[in-house]
């Protein structure tokens, strides 16, 4: 049974056309390489409401992984975690902690990540950094657990 994924790029610059969406494309490709079917790649501006609205639309009736890229730092418009918390029903702190550990091990700035992961319905949302390198590193940190998490969200039994 295939695993499905969606990618949400959060960036005022990408929306305005002044910045390239390299992290969104890199994540889509990495997910495909891992065997996921990427069914949507959306772009939204920074901010709590734009992120929350985009995530609500992406998870409606969806069973799979939703990854966001961008908006997880300390900039004034970096509000992806707040938008995500407005949507998720249950946080998955272990996934976010795993991403911070791997990221911090490679770059001291990794400890500044405010990424959030959590579930809503049968979807799992993970916030990833806005840099292509950071986004891929963090995705790879959680990928081993994602299939089991999605199985559990779909009503599977714990192993």
Is 67 or 104 the better-scoring residue by pLDDT? 67
5: helix, coil or strand?
strand
How many C-beta atoms lie closer than 10 Å to residue 20's C-beta?
Answer: 12
Domains of the chain: 3-153 (3.40.980.10)
Is 70 or 2 the better-scoring residue by pLDDT? 70
Which backbone phi and psi does 126 adopt, to 5 degrees? -130, 125
Residue 159: the pLDDT is: 60
86: helix, coil or strand?
coil
- Cβ atoms of residues 122 and 90 within 8 Å: no
Residue 107: the pLDDT is: 64
- Cβ atoms of residues 126 and 117 within 8 Å: yes
Residue 101: the pLDDT is: 87
pLDDT digits (tens, 9 = 90+) for 132-158: 999 999 999 999 999 999 999 999 876
Average of per-residue pLDDT across 87-96: 97
Average of per-residue pLDDT across 11-25: 97
Q: What is the mean pLDDT of the chain?
A: 94
State the chain's maximal CA–CA distance in angstroms: 47
51/103 Cα distance (integer angstroms): 23
């Amino acid at each position: 049974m295939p695993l499905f994924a969606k990618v949400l790029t959060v960036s005022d610059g990408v929306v305005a056309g002044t910045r390239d969406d390299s992290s969104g494309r890199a994540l889509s490709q990495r997910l495909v390489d891992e065997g996921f079917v990427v069914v949507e790649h959306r772009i939204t501006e920074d901010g709590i409401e734009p992120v929350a609205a985009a995530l609500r639309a992406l998870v409606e009736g969806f069973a799979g992984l939703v990854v966001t890229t961008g908006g997880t730092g300390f900039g004034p418009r970096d509000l992806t975690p707040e938008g995500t918390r407005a949507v998720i029903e249950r946080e998955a702190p272990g996934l976010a902690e795993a991403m911070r550990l791997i990221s911090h091990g490679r770059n001291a700035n990794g400890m500044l990540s405010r990424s959030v992961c959590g579930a809503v319905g049968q979807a799992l949302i993970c916030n990833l950094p806005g840099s292509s390198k950071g986004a891929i590193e963090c995705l790879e940190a959680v990928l081993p657990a994602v299939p089991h998490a999605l199985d559990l969200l779909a009503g599977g039994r714990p192993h």
